[in-house]
Amino acid sequence: MNKPYIIGIAGGSGSGKTFFLKRFLDHFSSDEVCLVSQDDYYFPVAQNMTPEENKHYDFDKPATIDNTQFESDINKLIAGETIYKKEYTFNNPNIEPKMLEIKPAPILIIEGLFIFHFEAIGGLLDLKIFLEADESVALQRRLKRDLLERGYSHDDVMFKWSNHVVPAYNEFLLPYRDGCHRVIINNTNTADNIQGITDEISIELREKLFS
């Protein structure tokens, strides 16, 4: 198998990475693209924490990621191997983690907060995409997600936002923005803008890789 075309997608919390990825993946079959997410490589520390300890634990640091395993699995996919990884559920007891089977494909997407910061991973990327949103928009998206999906209180979300999320964005994400091939501003709650961008990128990739 030839080396896959590797796309890195990063952006701050609430920038719309998940929505962008869903729209982008719709353009390809499972044989054409595979996705590996940094979120599935958090060290499993939260399961033993009290709510107060969880509140103060800073998940927005590169050291919370098992980068050795993350990098190893990426290299296995590049080499044409299938990887198996247990899904990370963000300490939500209502979700039964699935065992993920990720098969190699001509397009490999790597997404996560620190993928540009991790030098070995950043150096593999053929296309770097940076998503960003105004802070007020991103915060509202974060509140909606964490209150509904992850069971945090409003105070906990605001504490993490001010003390963890924003400082990490400024230190570990923003410095790489200008080195990316595409910077996508995502402040709307409608699909049209993101759909148009994913249409454009997917057409370019099809012409480059599959024609």
190-203 pLDDT, tens digit each? 778 899 999 999 99
What CA–CA distance (Å, rounded) separates 85 from 74? 12
3-state secondary structure of 34: strand
Pairing verdict, β 107-111 and 33-37: parallel
Quickly name the fold that domain 5-209 has.
Rossmann fold (3.40.50)
- The per-residue pLDDT for 192 is 84
40-90 pLDDT, tens digit each? 999 877 566 777 777 778 889 999 999 999 999 999 999 999 999 988 876
124 contacts: CB under 8 Å, gap ≥ 6: 6, 74, 78, 110
Q: Does the model's pTM come out above 0.85?
A: yes
**Which residue in 75, 68, 188 sits closest to 137, CA to CA?**
188
**Which residue in 77, 139, 143, 132 sits closest to 107, CA to CA?**
77
